[in-house]
Amino acid sequence: MINTRTQSVLYLVALTYSYGLYGAAGRFNPLINILILSVICLSIIYVGIFTKLSNLVKTKNSFTSFDYNLLTIYVFVFAVLIYDLNLGISDDHFAHSYLAFQPAIEIIKFAYINNIELDLLVRHQASLLILAGLVSGGGGVYFASKNKYVFTLIVILCLLAMRYLTLKMGGGASQHPPLRLFALMVTGSLGAASDFGFRLQGMIPLGIIIFIVYKHTKNVYQTLGIVTLPLLLHSATIVEFSIWNTAGTVLFLDRISKLSKEDIIFDAMLVTIFTLIRQPAIVLGLFLVYKLLRNKELIQVRLLLELFLIVSPALIFVLASLSGGNPAVGDSMTWEKIGNNFVESFEYFSRDFYVLYLVPIIFLVKNKHGLFLLLYFFMNLVMFMSTKTFGAPRYQLEILGGILK
């Protein structure tokens, strides 16, 4: 059987979806596109064939014990958010939602759209088409897993076919991480392309955060005290993706003491997945460096090359996005523009230092991984200060995400 551990499947889906269906980094000339595809295919081959990870199918005892306190927390948080989840979407939120459904709409050859909502018939048709694709795709993964070579070949052929069709139709120019649309597509289809369904995507990373926080507190009230922070709940109900970066930070903090080779390879896959959802998550790569420094026996040329190969799809996308200018920085990405943004952001930082940042810094210093967490905090801080929207509340959630655990 193929190594179909959850992260391996998610990694392969992330690459096929991002570089195939959405043609990420596809605005370059054919030679560079061939080079990019070659790297992506090598990453798929390595993860699909050569990683030694346990089989997803053999997880009979994974859910033998269910914690009803955890279920209570999920139900309570969902009840608190039910009103916000049913609010209408517009502007960028609507644009993200439409892009998530656009491939399905193109397939049914009916792209009626206005500035307010999708035609009801198209919503239902597209939702059913996406759900059928997810079910058939999941079944294909399961049955193809009997032969890892055949499975890997199928993934590569799907990648190449979808990328060719996407670029032929003019796609691949977006500077936004393409995988951000995958969860939006799934929850949107489950909700029949309703506002509720699209907003529901934020409950996935919030659910990850709740699970990890409760895992450490083992207390309902302490967990609720943390996960019901207003900014966290707000970020979970908007059709934006900052909360995914926060969830990534919390997940990596939960895994910070797992130092085996397999764990670090797993972490490299997670860096790629989260970066293709939310670009600033590339800073999660610092956790890989920190873990290697704590287990220096693993610092070998072969492993470093393997990790680089796994993370390379994320690096390619980030570099491709930055080379064409980044919406968060400005129309053109120059050192002068970054410097001006940094100066303007510093005013916000100095104004809010004692309110937002002083206590978290003290909290991080007291942690046994304090020096590293401070470095991670400041790297995120500097990265967001180089943007023109540093004051956005959801950005602060990403910067301060490490204090949630």
- 386-397 per-position pLDDT tens digit: 877 777 778 888
Alpha helices in 89-192 (DSSP H): 91-107, 120-144, 148-168, 180-190
- Mean pLDDT of all residues in 148-175: 80
CA dihedral 97, 23, 134, 148 (to 10 degrees): -150
- pLDDT beyond 60 at 146: yes
Count of residues in the chain: 405
DSSP state of 51: -
Predicted confidence at residue 172, as pLDDT, reads: 64
Instruction: Decide if 276 contacts 320 (C-beta within 8 A).
Output: no
Instruction: Decide if 140 contacts 16 (C-beta within 8 A).
Output: no
Q: Where are the domains of the chain?
A: 6-324, 325-405
- 64-109 per-position pLDDT tens digit: 445 788 889 999 999 999 999 998 888 888 888 888 887 787 776 5
- 203-241 per-position pLDDT tens digit: 999 999 999 999 888 889 999 998 998 889 999 999 899
- pLDDT beyond 90 at 353: no
- Mean pLDDT of all residues in 369-397: 83
- How far apart are alpha carbons 313 and 14 in whole angstroms? 10
Nearest CA among 258, 265, 208 for reference residue 369: 258
- How far apart are alpha carbons 275 and 263 in whole angstroms? 18
pTM reported for the whole predicted model: 0.88
Mean pLDDT (the chain) is: 82
- How far apart are alpha carbons 150 and 135 in whole angstroms? 20
